[in-house]
Chains A and B, each alone.
Chain A
Amino acid sequence: MAEPAAVRPAAPWRTRLAPYRAVLASRVRAQRSYRVSFALDLGSSLLVGIVELAEVWILFHNVTVLGGMTFASIALVFGIADMAFSLADLALGHCDRLPTYLRAGTLDVFYLRPQPVLAQLVASDISLRRLARCVVGAAALGYGLTAADVRWSAVTVLLLAVTFVSGWAIFAALFIWAAGLQFFLVNGAEMTNAFVYGGRYAATQPGRVWPGALKVVFGFVFPVAFAAYLPVLRVVDLPSPHPFPAWAGWCAPVAAVWAWAAALACWRWGMRHYQGGGG
Chain B
Amino acid sequence: MSSTPIIEADRLTREFVRRSRAGRLGRTRTTMTAVDEVSLRIDPGEAVGYIGANGAGKSTTIKMLIGILVPTSGSVRTCGLDPVRQRRTLAGRVGVVFGQRSQLWWDLPVRESFGILAAIHQLPAAAARSREQELVDQLEMAAFLDTPVRQLSLGQRMRAEVAAALLHGPELVILDEPTIGLDVLSKQRLRDFLLAERARHGTTLLLTTHDMGDIERLCERVLVLDRGRMAYDGSLAGLGRTVGAQRVLVVDLAEAAPDLRDVPHTRHLASEGHGLRQRLAFDAEQTTVPRVLAEVSRRADVRDLAVEEPDIEDVVRRIYATRR
Contacts and interface: CB of A to CB of B under 8 A. Distances in A.
Interface of A: 1-8, 11, 15, 18-19, 21-23, 26, 29-30, 33-34, 104-106, 108-109, 111-116, 272, 275-278
B42 to A, nearest CB: 16
B100 interface: yes
Nearest to B165: A112
B101 A111 contact: no
Interface stretch (B67-75, B182-190, B225-233, B271-279): B67-75
B318 interface: no
Nearest to B97: A112
Contact of B170 (A2, A19, A26, A33): A2
Given A1-B171, A106-B101, A277-B70, A111 B119 contact: no
Contacts of B96: 112
A126 to B, nearest CB: 13
Chain B: number of interface residues, binned into ranges = 35 or more
Given A5-B168, A108-B98, A30 B120 contact: no
Contacts of B165: 112
A277 B14 contact: no
Nearest to B91: A114
B203 interface: yes
Contacts of B123: 5-7
B201 A1 contact: yes
B108 interface: yes
A114 B89 contact: yes
B122 A7 contact: yes
A114 B101 contact: no
B107 A18 contact: no
A109 B63 CA distance: 11
B103 A3 contact: no
B121 A275 contact: no
- The interface centre, meaning the residue of A29, A34, A109, A276 with most chain B CB atoms within 10 A of its CB, is A276
A122 B123 CA distance: 22
A30 B169 contact: no
Contacts of A22: 115-116, 119-120
A115 B100 CA distance: 22
A3 B69 contact: no
- The interface centre, meaning the residue of B89, B105, B120 with most chain A CB atoms within 10 A of its CB, is B120
B112 A26 contact: yes
Contacts of B84: 275, 277
B11 interface: no
A107 to B, nearest CB: 9
Contact of B101 (A5, A26, A105): A105
B66 interface: yes
A5 B121 contact: yes
Contacts of A34: 107
B124 A114 contact: no
A113 B119 CA distance: 11
Contacts of A275: 68-70, 84
A113 B14 contact: no
Interface string B73-110: 00000000000100111011110101011110101100
Given A5-B169, A22-B115, A22-B119, A108 B63 contact: yes
Given A1-B202, A112-B66, A276 B115 contact: no
A114 B121 contact: yes
A19 B69 contact: no
Contacts of A278: 70
13 contacts: A3-B131, A3-B169, A4-B127, A8-B92, A19-B119, A26-B105, A104-B101, A109-B102, A109-B103, A111-B87, A112-B66, A112-B94, A112-B165
Given A4-B169, A276-B14, 6 more contacts: A3-B127, A30-B107, A33-B107, A111-B67, A114-B88, A276-B70
Contacts of B103: 109, 112
A8 B67 CA distance: 19
